[in-house]
Amino acid sequence: MPIFNKGDHAVVLNTYQMYLKAGVSKLVAHLHHSIENNYVLGVKMVRGAYIHSEPDRDLLHDTKADTDAEYDQAVRLLVGSNGASLADENGAGATWSADLMLATHNTHSAREALRLYRERFLTRGIGPAAHGAGLRSLAFAQLKGMADELSFKLTEEIESMSAEASGTALEAEPDVARRLPGIGVYKYSIWGTFQECLLYMLRRAEENKDAAARSRTTALAIVREMGRRVLPFTRS
């Protein structure tokens, strides 16, 4: 990262697995390292997909609730504080700079991150903490074909925020480093022949065994959307 993330945005992202008890402390340590070496920290944040194969279970949170709390704490650190000073070993403060990708199908975490973004940058009108510091971009990412209702809802709300920010002082700011952080939604897909992708798809299926727990939410979202599209015609 010190080599490739020297520009306005991170080129290389590191994955942070928040089912590890040291998730937030590791993130903070890397923020300090980015400050000391003057680069943009690239963060891809996940809850963790290797819980069944972790060799040392003591490193993992005891409950899913603890993992959720760790994840949301990291979100508040990066989105809510936006470059706030981190005290170094001498007690002095320094500001960090980061690009954040939230790779999650968890509705609560995604919506909370969006709420923090709106509150800080739109409601309170606070730009980056200092020149070149703070959150540079926020991206949400879900696997193609999974949590589509979340992806669509996030996209809808981001479009609404874009309209809300249109013409504001932050949008018109000539200094790119002090404008609103970029924000977007991405769907992660694979490309190749069936043989080339088979092992990868099997791995993803193993990682997402809990997808069945979300199927009810997805099914309800589909039913609501069908009703929204059909009812206007049945009433006419």
Whether the Cβ atoms of residue 146 and residue 104 lie closer than 8 Å to each other:
no
Residues 145 and 200 in one domain: no
In this structure, is residue 158 part of a structural domain? yes
Q: What average pLDDT does the structure give for the chain?
A: 79
Written as six digits, the tokens of 199 are 């092992």
Q: Which of 121, 33, 23 is nearest to 67 (CA)?
A: 23
Residues 138 and 43 in one domain: yes
Residues 146 and 198 in one domain: no
Residues 98 and 215 in one domain: no
In this structure, is residue 151 part of a structural domain? yes
The 10 Å Cβ neighbour count of residue 212 is: 8
Whether the Cβ atoms of residue 127 and residue 178 lie closer than 8 Å to each other:
yes
The residue count for the chain: 236
In this structure, is residue 6 part of a structural domain? no
What domain range includes position 148? 14-189
d(CA 13, CA 184): 16
- For residue 64, the surrounding DSSP H or E stretch is helix 64-75
Burial string for 194-207 (b: 16+ CB within 10 Å, else e) reads eeeeeeeeeebeeb
User: Which range, of 16-20, 98-102, 147-151, averages the lowest pLDDT?
Assistant: 147-151
Residues 47 and 77 in one domain: yes
Whether the Cβ atoms of residue 151 and residue 102 lie closer than 8 Å to each other:
no
Instruction: Please give the tally of structural domains in the chain.
Output: 2
Residues 118 and 206 in one domain: no
d(CA 16, CA 20): 9
Residues 199 and 172 in one domain: no
In this structure, is residue 2 part of a structural domain? no
In this structure, is residue 203 part of a structural domain? yes
Last residue of a domain, one of 151, 167, 189: 189
d(CA 225, CA 228): 5
Check pLDDT > 80 for residue 164: no
Per residue in 173-229, pLDDT tens? 544 444 567 888 999 888 889 888 888 777 776 666 655 555 666 667 677 777 777
In this structure, is residue 63 part of a structural domain? yes
129: Cβ–Cβ under 8 A, 6 or more apart, which residues? 82, 83, 84, 95
Residues 227 and 155 in one domain: no
Residues 75 and 156 in one domain: yes
Residues 150 and 61 in one domain: yes
Residues 24 and 129 in one domain: yes
Residues 60 and 136 in one domain: yes
Model confidence at 42, pLDDT cuts 50, 70, 90, reads very high
